[in-house]
Amino acid sequence: MQLDEGHIMQVIQSSLRKAPEAMLEECLDILIKISGASGGSILGEEGPHLKFLFSDVEALIGMNVPWESIAGATASSGVIIYTYAPSDKRHFDGIDGKIAHQTRYLLSIPVPSVHKGAEEGDNANSAGALQLLFDENIFPTFDVSAGPMEFALDTLKEQAVYSEGLQGVFWILPNISFGLEVMKLRQTSYQAIHELKNKLISASSWINCLKEDMEDVEPSVLEDEDILEDLNLAETSIAEGANLAKSYLQFTKLYTPAFLDAQIHDVLEETASSIRALAADMADGDFAVVVEPDKAMPTRQLDPSQLKMAFFNLGKNAVEALVELGTEAPQITISTLWEDPICRVTVADNGPGLPPEIADNLFVAFKTKKEGGTGLGLTITKKIVDVHGGSIRCETGSDGTRFIIEL
């Protein structure tokens, strides 16, 4: 089976809308189909092990494989290996017990790393291995029963089977490389930031302990304005750091959306209620939050919790700006428009607009101009919209600021 336009669109949509794990599972399924394989797996490095991360046989997932195996040789050497498993001493036969039948012909392909090697032509820089299983010999010119064939991609391209099905495998391989890298980056960054957050929370507790000790030893010290200012600055810095870590952890979780059939208006009504509560707490007078729905809007595949986070970020920013600027009769209007197949959501305020230095960096992480801000709010919002396969843009002027989201 050839890789056709439908497969390509499936891979693109999966890359945009799904977590890397779901995208990799879908890519593996496509690769098995277009190559004519009877099964397949994706193996990646986890710590000191090479592990089955994805497979059409569920029992294999999570299973460690020796580096002396065919998959290990592929990942470490960066060469394609085609072999007849029963005669290859590197074949890890513990796999056959899991899949309940004897592996026959095996094509093991290195998954290129997104990082370049230390030197040009460094073939050993692989992120893992893609393995495809075949019941029959797919290379009639190769007799691998007597020994494996190991070759570079250029050699494989000379074979007829490449243009008949394997070519599509190598077109999709970069998606697998990217997915594996995102999984590794997300896991390591999550662990590091989580530990940082815990350290900052601990530091905040020790500041309080320090105050208590100072109160016990020399109460007058806490009457010194310079010392109090230093302590307050330390507490503020720690709180901002913890808030940044919390926001970043929230950011790393955006790769795991949970789509379901939902009505966008339900999401917006709940979000508007939260924005009203925030405005009531921050504003002295009346603060209007209006929802203007297009009743023609159908239900569609959404992640309601993530979208509420995205829209609330927009509303929160608008509330804070309108209150800070002292806008008369402040109002936020959330409206929708259905133009099949586009769902358009507009979040608008009646403030004086954004200055250029802010408007030009709205979705860039850590570019906030807001005191105490993390600079991740709108970055998170954009990523949520991206995960939904949508777009977001901002229009600002003297009559207010509008964020237009199309899903």
H/E stretch holding 348: strand 342-349
Contacts with 213 (C-beta within 8 Å, 6 or more apart), sequence order: none
Long-range contacts of 190-193 (CB under 8 A, 24+ apart): 190/249, 190/252, 193/245, 193/248, 193/249, 193/252
The predicted structure's pLDDT at residue 121: 42
> Consecutive sets of 10 residues in the chain, 407 residues long: mean pLDDT of each?
59 60 85 89 82 88 87 88 88 73 88 61 67 90 85 79 78 81 71 74 83 86 85 82 71 69 93 88 85 93 88 90 88 94 93 77 56 61 84 89 93
Which candidate, 23, 29, 25, places its Cα nearest to that of 11?
A: 23
Which candidate, 180, 176, 41, 34, places its Cα nearest to that of 98?
A: 41
Compute how many other C-beta atoms are within 10 angstroms of the C-beta atom of residue 296.
10
What secondary structure letter does DSSP report for 25?
H
Taking the model in full, what pTM does it have? Answer: 0.52
The predicted structure's pLDDT at residue 210: 86
Q: What residues form DSSP beta bridges with 105?
A: 84, 134
Helix, coil or strand: residue 376: coil
Integer-rounded Cα Rg, in Å, for the chain is 28
Burial class from Cβ neighbours inside 10 Å (0-12, 13-18, 19+) for residue 352 reads: middle
Contacts with 357 (C-beta within 8 Å, 6 or more apart), sequence order: 369
The predicted structure's pLDDT at residue 172: 82
> What's the Cα-to-Cα distance from 380 to each of 18, 172, 247, 374, 383, rounded to whole Å?
16, 28, 9, 11, 5
The predicted structure's pLDDT at residue 383: 81
> Are 95 and 103 spatial neighbours (Cβ–Cβ below 8 Å)?
yes
Distance CA 259, CA 34 (A): 27
Cα angle 91, 149, 30 (rounded to 5 degrees) comes to: 75
